[in-house]
Structure 1
């Protein structure tokens, strides 16, 4: 499979209808309202690699995650998994086989586990659903092995979620996601609800599992320090679009897009304690009424008239994909 991407996303878009109820629209004479949550995103993930998506809250990262695993249907574009179109596979008899090969770890470990079920039932559910193991003794043994693989005790299977801390609950979520032996894991901010020390433990477990099992990750985060630790490639999103896509080393050493530079400038650096930190300037525009041209231009120090009227395409400039007129014209 060398050189062949496991996951390929082509011009992916998702539009949500957020209009008020019909009667309100008639009385107030308002048109329908739409949010372009994801607007033409394209990327590839090689087998065994990690692509991280970063950006401020509301930029469409979690919507991309849900589109990839089939929780949302795309408005436009394609998600290809191992060369096959996800939408077609999910509508066919191959849907269950595809779901077995890709799993998702959700952001909130307090909301993603059923409080009425014991850990044994939570982790065993995918095994039962996919008909992988039916014997109770074999299920107990497999659940014990999965819990051990994420640093928990097999005896924890008899407990309920409320008996665990946030970090332990997220490990249970990871064990559940690994139950079907997937090839691809979509991780939607899996450590954002955890303390910093617990974040490190969970991330190290995920890195170890990737090395041992050859897992492929899409890792979504707004924490650039976490992204630096786990990713091979980084995609920076802004208002539903990818503005920069580069290898991790390139992106952190030589960020091309002004927004990426702004995000990196905001990271505290222990070696530069005397330097004034640059806060991320301005506010994310209202997604119901995005700016014309480049959606970042109201916050960009390099914006000119072209930026205000013409939307930049994601072009490859010196080995890095960037959607920026200033970078394209060499004005940075």
Structure 2
């Protein structure tokens, strides 16, 4: 099966230096943050890859790089065999934008409060010339609202008249307007209550089944990931440290950081297994540790871990970046 999305050695560096005059007066060098640093993965058509990790690990930057909101500092994103960055500069760029859409994290900030729902959802339809007149737009918006569990009459309302969960459904309807094949979901349920989260996730699962959608799902919540993902990538300080099928990752986590994240999930079934809470703090991305970025927090770290950066290598069908796993120490 060929992958719909292929990401190779993707990197994004941000210049976070102080203004030039301040640097001259205070004799400070320029400062850079390597938000994403050499990430590679593939997503098969109709599948969901979830990226998880603590805040600031680069998950959302990956999402924005994939849909073209950021330009990569290095590496390539290929969508259906096309290099997206090269394609965005050509006339085919619009067609590519139509095929990949994004659902943002905050349903309160991502909808224009001055527009009716009709205009919010119809905008991409008009932009891509997919409706000829207002009647056609209303017809299509009504269908999209029904597909996410809202009533066609809701198109005459404004965003402030809806709850958070309903707003996120409107965001999903807007993303689906152009009939995309690939949706990048940047923590789409993190601003919602748990009961509403489940409703939105179920809608997304149903839509995936009906329309054969491919998802990149960004989250820091492993319980959510367990519900939606086929494959899980664990990120730490801009790099992928483990990439595995969901069941393998939850049953046999290999990387010490993945184990730490899973141990932090409340044990609802009271199995009595020993649990270690997440230790230490995420290092400052302006001054990351040498070698393996996780070594200051890792119980298995040795001298090699603090000096040599591990590569993402394949072990028994999963990919892990860990010297301890490679040497058979864990």
The Cα RMSD (Å) is 0.8
User: Aligned equivalents of 1:70 and 1:299: distance in 2?
Assistant: 34
Alignment of 1:183-222 (within 5 A): 183-222=181-220
**Structure-1-length-normalised TM-score:** 0.98
What is aligned with 1:158? 156
What is aligned with 1:291? 289
Q: CA deviation at 1:278?
A: 2.4
Which of residues 164, 168, 177 is equivalent to 1:170? 168
User: Aligned equivalents of 1:277 and 1:291: distance in 2?
Assistant: 26
User: Aligned equivalents of 1:97 and 1:211: distance in 2?
Assistant: 23
Which of residues 114, 120, 123 is equivalent to 2:121? 123
SS at match of 1:145: helix
Deviations 1:229-255 (CA, angstroms, capped at 9, x unpaired):
000000000000000000001000000
What is aligned with 2:225? 227
Alignment of 1:268-307 (within 5 A): 268-272=266-270, 277-307=275-305
What is aligned with 1:18? 16
**Structure-2-length-normalised TM-score:** 0.99
Q: Runs (4+) of structure 1 moved beyond 2 Å?
A: 273-278
What is aligned with 1:38? 36
User: Aligned equivalents of 2:282 and 2:132: distance in 1?
Assistant: 50
Alignment of 1:107-146 (within 5 A): 107-146=105-144
Q: CA deviation at 1:272?
A: 1.7
Deviations 1:30-74 (CA, angstroms, capped at 9, x unpaired):
000000000000000000000000000000000000000000000
User: Aligned equivalents of 1:256 and 1:276: distance in 2?
Assistant: 17
User: Aligned equivalents of 2:257 and 2:270: distance in 1?
Assistant: 21
Which of residues 241, 244, 247 is equivalent to 2:242? 244
Q: CA deviation at 1:279?
A: 1.5
What is aligned with 1:323? 321
Deviations 1:243-289 (CA, angstroms, capped at 9, x unpaired):
00000010000000000000000100111275664211000000000
SS at match of 1:229: helix
Alignment of 1:72-91 (within 5 A): 72-91=70-89
Q: Alpha carbons of 1:329 and 1:273: their partners in 2 closer, same or farther (altered >3 Å)?
A: closer
- For the 8 Å contact 1:268–1:277, the answer to whether it is kept is no
SS at match of 2:235: strand
- For the 8 Å contact 1:10–1:78, the answer to whether it is kept is yes
SS at match of 2:6: strand
SS at match of 1:220: strand
